Amino acid sequence: MIVSSPDTIDAIAKLLASGQAFDCDFYFRVQEQPLGIPDSIRLLAKRQIIDIIGNSVYLVYAEL
């Protein structure tokens, strides 16, 4: 799942499409307000995620 702001989600979805070209399934979710990384992880509860921020990559399993 790709989480982004309402201003950028359409461009990101257009760029990545379904993820089939990357042998992945992408789903997109809007974070309505810029409440930070903890809020985006809350949106992805009970999923294994990779959090990519600039040049840092984090693998997280959220059990919320």
* All structural domains of the chain with their residue ranges: 2-61
- Average pLDDT, integer, range 27-42: 81
48 by Cβ neighbours in 10 Å (0-12 / 13-18 / 19+) ranks as exposed
User: Is the pLDDT confidence value at 64 over 60?
Assistant: no
- State phi, psi for 59 to the nearest 5 degrees: -105, 125
pLDDT band at 55 (very low <50, low <70, confident <90, very high): low
pLDDT for 43 equals: 72
pLDDT at 57: 53
Query: Per-residue pLDDT tens for 17-26?
Result: 888 888 888 8
Q: Which of 14-18, 34-38, 44-48 has the lowest mean pLDDT?
A: 44-48
Average pLDDT, stretch 3-25?
86
